[in-house]
Homo-oligomer: A and B are copies of this chain.
Amino acid sequence: MTSNLASTLITKLTVSNNLDSADIRAIHGLPIRERKLGASALIVADGARSTDCCLLAEGFAFRAKTTFEGQRQVLSLHIPGEIPDLQSLHLHVMDHELVALTPCKVGFIAHEAIRDANQQRPNLAAALWRETLIDSAIFREWIVNVGRRSAAARMAHLLVEMHQRLKAVGLTQDDGFAFPITQAELGDCLGLSTVHVNRTLQSLRKDGLISVERAEFRILDMQGLEFLAGFDPTYLHLNPSI
């Protein structure tokens, strides 16, 4: 069957949560308004007051803040099945922006509909709360990444994280994964300049850790990359029962 919007959400939620059939029915029952967006489209603006959440069904998106001096910092990267602005359910004014990294298919779900479903299905509410907490755990790891790791370790960590998250929803081929991001955008994720991102990637390639061609990253030495990154997957909380 063709994967509709709700199915991508269910796939993603099931990675980290135990949903029962009634929960899944409730998700299928959610009214979702589909939309297609081009790369770099602004999905939700900083300062906005949303009445909907945005379910990312295809493509990549990111959340970002821009400093007073005009420097952009990417806060998180989002993959299909995620609801990057789920926090807007309880935080009514956006403190950052949500942007399409690549062309995307998204679905907007009214807060009211999610609130109703949460009331009917407390287990679904718990799963969504848990998703926002995993979001939070990833933010924490990113603080460590930009605060304490070298450029090479930062890059390695980001790549390993993306590989693991994409693998969990079946969006990898072996050690390769499609990830269409520019070096400037990588710099905004890692708190590095574009030039330094370029040199860091070259160094990872030279050391035989990764290969990059076009929008396709490939991890050639997973052990080596994880060691360089100091990667510990605990923070991704991918196992529903722990």
- A interface residue numbers (CB < 8 A to B): 47, 49, 63, 65, 67-69, 71-73, 75, 87, 90-93, 95-96, 119, 122, 125-126, 129-130, 132-137, 139-144, 146-149, 190-191, 230, 234-235, 237, 242
Q: How far is the CA of A211 from the CA of B34 in the complex (A)?
A: 54
**Residues in B whose Cβ lies below 8 Å from that of A87:** 133, 136-137
Question: Is A148 in contact with B67, judged by CB distance below 8 angstroms?
Answer: yes
A137 partner residues in chain B, CB cutoff 8 A: 87, 91, 95
Distance to closest chain B CB from A174 (angstroms): 26
Q: Which 9 A-B pairs have the closest CB atoms?
A: A147-B191, A68-B230, A139-B139, A146-B147, A95-B235, A90-B130, A136-B136, A73-B144, A71-B148
> Which residue of B91, B134, B143 contacts A143 across the interface (Cβ within 8 Å)?
B143
Please determine whether A144 and B67 come into contact, CB atoms closer than 8 angstroms: yes
B132 in contact with A143 (CB, 8 Å): no
Contact residues in B for A119 (Cβ distance below 8 Å): 122
Q: How many Å lie between the Cα of A234 and that of B92 in the bound state?
A: 11
Q: A95-B141, A95-B237 are in contact. List 19 more A-B contacts (CB 8 A).
A: A47-B234, A49-B242, A63-B140, A69-B230, A75-B144, A87-B133, A90-B126, A90-B130, A90-B133, A91-B133, A95-B140, A95-B234, A95-B235, A119-B122, A136-B136, A136-B139, A142-B143, A143-B146, A146-B147
Number of copies: 2
Question: Residue A237 contacts which of B72, B91, B142, B230 (CB distance < 8 angstroms)?
Answer: B91
Pick from B130, B139, B190: contact of A140, CB under 8 Å: B139
Q: Looking at the complex, which one of B73, B122, B129, B235 makes contact with A148 (CB distance below 8 Å)?
A: B73
The smallest beta-carbon distance between A197 and chain B, in angstroms, is 13
Q: For residue A67, which residues in chain B have a CB less than 8 angstroms away from its CB?
A: 144, 148-149, 230
Task: Report the minimum CB–CB distance from A63 to chain B (whole Å).
Answer: 8
Closest chain B residue, CB of each to CB of A86: B133
**What are 20 A-B contacts defined by CB distance under 8 Å?**
A65-B141, A65-B144, A67-B144, A67-B148, A73-B148, A90-B130, A92-B242, A93-B234, A95-B140, A95-B141, A95-B235, A96-B235, A125-B125, A129-B132, A136-B136, A143-B143, A146-B191, A147-B190, A147-B191, A148-B191
> In the complex, are the beta carbons of A136 and B132 less than 8 A apart?
yes
In the assembled complex, the CB of A149 is this many whole angstroms from the nearest CB of chain B, namely 7
Complex Cα distance A185/B143, Å? 15
